[in-house]
Amino acid sequence: MEMQKGYLIDPNTPDTLVTEVEYNDFRDIQKLIGCDCFTSITLGGYGDDDGFCDDDGLNTATMLSKFVIFPDLFCQPIVGRVLVVGPADDEGESTPPTKPIEYYRENTKVLSYGQVNLLSVMGAF
């Protein structure tokens, strides 16, 4: 299998929030997002980019955790890192992201645990 390209979004590194990365298989995805069990999310609608994130993130979040939110694409905050990939091809393999990296640099927001908690109480999520 050849290396795939994606964008790693790391809320703990605000100066380099979004970087281009390469990955080969699920083990690389686990290392990139820092978890053993990950899940996929759709960023937008059918045919849009997808993301991989920690499946257990909400259960392991602490008051020091940082969250990622995509206001125009996905309405729920995501704990920790997200690997953005393109939609799956006909064989179920990920493709490169369809949106340019600049889109994610401009449209990704980072929230603290307290901000997410406050917005949740206010009914934003």
Cα separation of 75 and 26, whole Å? Answer: 25
Which helix or strand (DSSP H or E) is residue 33 part of? Answer: helix 26-33
**Whole-model pTM above 0.95?**
no
Residue type, 59: N
Residue type, 124: A
Q: Over the stretch 79-125, which tens digit does the pLDDT of each residue have?
A: 999 999 999 889 888 899 999 999 999 999 999 999 998 888 888 77
